[in-house]
Amino acid sequence: MEEKELRRYSRVVVDGDEQAPSRAMLRAVGFSEDDFKRPQVGVASTWSMVTPCNMHIRDLADAAAASADAAGGKGVVFNTISVSDGISMGTPGMRYSLVSREIIADSIEAVTAAEGFDGLVTIGGCDKNMPACVMAMARLNRPSVFVYGGTIRPGTNRRDIVSVFEAVGAKSAGTISDKELLEVEQTAIPGPGACGGMYTANTMASAIEALGMSLANSSAQEAVSAAKLQDCQRAAEAVVNLIKLDIKPLDIMTYKAFENAISVVIALGGSTNAVLHLLAMAREAQVPLTLEDFTRIGARVPVLADLKPSGKYLMSELIEIGGIQPLMKRMLDAGFLHGDCLTVTGKTLAENLADVADYPDGQDIVQDFAHPIKRDSHLAILYGNVAPDGAVAKISGKEGLRFEGTARIYHSEELALQAILDGEVISGDVIVIRYEGPKGAPGMREMLSPTSAIMGKGLGAEVALITDGRFSGGSHGFVVGHVSPEAAVGGPIALLEDGDKLVIDAERKQINALVSDEVLAERRKRWQRPKSSVTGGTLAKYRSQVSSASEGAVTVPDPWD
């Protein structure tokens, strides 16, 4: 390609006499005369010191920019925000977590389009900024590669952040002391990196790799490692190559590529948040993905990886045996992946996996197809008179496949958590946490604090929890989230009352209240939406535009033409 074609966007910003002011500004930030003739590669860094997930990313971004320069481009680093779920969990601040996904995508789009970057490297290290990066890349549709910031190393005794949340419940139950709780708190998080199990960060990193938007094993490297630094350097080189080949995200993010991502998420036993984020990413890529695709694919793809929270192992231990590439090779050979999908290497998935070696003999982290952990998906899409538009359950099978119990209603996460810690919740209860949906919170908070308290109290097999909010990837037990329509828009979950009998059936894919249509209709006549404390600002704007969780909780522009 000619020089101008390589600089499809940047030349509009820097070529010609009329753009002398632009060049003058860029000289001040370090551009040389030769740099104006190179394709510009934006490096979107999610570095900040608000969370260990992202605290190391500044150095990774600088390495990517230097590598872009060496490959014949001009790397330009810019930053965006990050919100820590682990820190804000259980507080009003958690309302901003899912909202931040939209803010991050918007900010990457704004900077890239305004500055005229010809290609893009995005580096994400925490739950929401990862799908946000991919959403922005799909919108912009310029040659792009995503880089995962990497997983954290295990804490003392293989602890992680979920160990701390569950220790809070154990302290409440009287099974550990104040001193023991403090010791867990002090030793669970040893340094940089995303939460260490197959929680949302590692799930989304794996999904993005399977989607074809990151390099091989980008999802399976520790945050503090030579491999992760090399991943950033190779990603920048790959973007310069994609610019030359004119391969863009929408060439890669096809319907079949999303099927690959869903299949890998299931095989790994990944987070329920993957449903929400993959739907949102697909919308930006103009791919008609729906909840039904998760059900269809889940009927044939087994759970193979014995990873936390439901399993035994951490991501760092999967890394030691080869990461997710050997799993993907097995799945490809067994017909569970589309090998003809294009990836950011410029090659197909099958070509990338051709020489991948299998896992070492004797490992028991990833099972074979003859002995799966679960023969179908752990992600069950449920429907019924509680969730006419769908709900997402995370059912590993260890907690059973059916639960019938008595509703215990709470209008916020805080109220439910206190009730659990105070011993109000007993065996046979179905905890209902409502007005925590995309509009209701607003922001669709994660329920890690209540689910961890349940596990810490020893009630994991004895109670269920349903919510129009969502769950952390660290949540486990008999839990159902994303109930749609949500309570704040008058969904049936708003009409449930204490004492109602609820049935959750993962095999039949149903969630129902044993309450007649006539009774629900009478209750609807009396229902009034609770007054929200949110009257302005970012949360109010989000509430006015956000769609249902069944559609990915994306912000939908108001059509005006």
pLDDT of residue 90: 86
Residue 320: pLDDT above 80?
Answer: yes
Q: For the chain, where do the domains classified as CATH 3.50.30.80 start and end? A: 379-551
pLDDT of residue 135: 98
pLDDT more than 90, % of the chain: 89
Q: How confident is the model at residue 86 (pLDDT cuts 50, 70, 90)?
A: confident
Residue 338: pLDDT above 90?
Answer: yes
Indicate the helix (H) or strand (E) that contains 503: strand 501-505
Residue 472 a catalytic site member: yes
pLDDT of residue 317: 96
Q: How confident is the model at residue 477 (pLDDT cuts 50, 70, 90)?
A: confident
| Mean pLDDT, residues 298-313 | 95
Q: pTM for this structure?
A: 0.96
Interval 40-69: pLDDT, tens: 999 999 999 999 999 999 999 999 999 999
Packed helices 448-456 and 413-421: angle between N→C axes, nearest 10 degrees: 10
Q: How confident is the model at residue 558 (pLDDT cuts 50, 70, 90)?
A: low
| Mean pLDDT, residues 477-483 | 92
| Mean pLDDT, residues 499-526 | 97
pLDDT of residue 189: 94
- Residue range 38-153+164-353 forms a domain whose CATH class is alpha beta
Determine what percent of the chain falls in helix, strand and coil, rounding each to the nearest 5. 45, 15, 40
pLDDT of residue 162: 84
Interval 150-177: pLDDT, tens: 999 999 999 988 888 888 888 988 999 9
pLDDT of residue 396: 79
Q: Which stretches of 98-257 are assigned E, i.e. beta strand? A: 119-124, 144-148
Q: How confident is the model at residue 439 (pLDDT cuts 50, 70, 90)?
A: very high
pLDDT of residue 560: 60
Identified catalytic residue from 449, 472, 475, 484: 472
Half-sphere exposure of 509 (CA within 13 A, CB side): 19
> If one looks up domain 379-551 in CATH, what number appears?
3.50.30.80
Q: Which stretches of 27-174 are assigned E, i.e. beta strand? A: 40-45, 74-79, 119-124, 144-148
Q: For the chain, where do the domains classified as CATH 3.40.50.2300 start and end? A: 38-153+164-353
